[in-house]
Amino acid sequence: MCVSTSDKERVIKNISIVLVSPQVPENIGLCARVLKNTSFFNLLLVNPNLNGKSFEVSKRARDILEKAKICKSLKEAVRDSHFVFGTTRRKREYASVYNFGGILPMLAASARKKKISIVFGREDFGLSKEEMEYCDSAFYIPADQKFASYNLAFSVGIVCYKIFEYLENISSISSLSLAKNKDIEALYINIENVLKKLKFKSNITSGSLSTIRRIFKRTHLTRNEMKLLKSIFLAAGKKA
């Protein structure tokens, strides 16, 4: 059983796509098309090079462009958002940059009750450092490092599609609830105890436990995922 249409619509309604200074008119039109393909409709354009070519390329997504909000700055575009995600291909430049697949559950969970903005930069050099400061977190889309920069419309398309697909396949909107830090900490302790019971003690160091902790932090465990892991390790502990 998939998430109800009304629940999915609520998440999508809370997500805005923000394009900062898009330079190629056709890219703007193509972005509008992929938004409509994936049920998104909140488009904000910061100082866009918008012209007739944008509308021509948008085809039946013309209404997305007509309703798009034109802003003078990124600050204006994200002022009503509770959480802002920036996009970058320079994954080592910023401290908190995640693989998009890893941050997707957190993004969707945040959009249950909060307004979310996903910000895309210019075609030639993306978002500036100053613009990244308006972002609470950032993510990159995995690509071959020899050619890591996606076309703007492709990037928007990938992100919108993956969110759309994720919402199509989860069983319940409640499964988007993120696990609390205290519950995750309890899970870490449980994992450590089970591994010791299973005589992994000689191979388990503080460093390897820290690695486990980092893995879980990157995946942003939901409550249901955390409960499943807890039950697995509890069962393993009883058989140890």
Give me the residues of the chain with pLDDT under 50, please: 1
Neighbours of 65 (CB within 10 A): 21
* pLDDT value of position 1: 44
In the listed set 129, 156, 173, which residue is the last one of a domain according to the structure?
173
Query: The CATH number of the domain where 185 resides is what?
Result: 1.10.8
In the listed set 137, 155, 173, which residue is the last one of a domain according to the structure?
173
**CA-based nearest residue to 138, from 90, 185, 173:** 90
* pLDDT value of position 93: 54
Single-letter code of the amino acid located at 114 = K
* pLDDT value of position 23: 96
Do 186 and 114 belong together in one domain?
no
Domain boundaries, position 36: 5-173
Query: The CATH number of the domain where 56 resides is what?
Result: 3.40.1280.10
**CA-based nearest residue to 190, from 154, 152, 216:** 216
Total structural domains within the chain = 2
Do 216 and 105 belong together in one domain?
no
Contacts of 118 (CB under 8 A, 6+ apart): 15, 16, 17, 18, 85, 87, 107, 159
Single-letter code of the amino acid located at 215 = I
* pLDDT value of position 234: 81
The pTM of the full predicted model, rounded to 2 decimals, is: 0.75
Classify 172 as helix, strand or coil.
coil
- Distance CA(47)–CA(70), nearest Å, equals 7
- Distance CA(179)–CA(112), nearest Å, equals 14
pLDDT in tens, 86-105: 999 865 555 568 899 988 98
Do 109 and 195 belong together in one domain?
no
Residue 204: C-alpha distances to residues 190, 196, 232 (Å) = 14, 8, 19
In the listed set 173, 202, 230, which residue is the last one of a domain according to the structure?
173
Do 216 and 166 belong together in one domain?
no
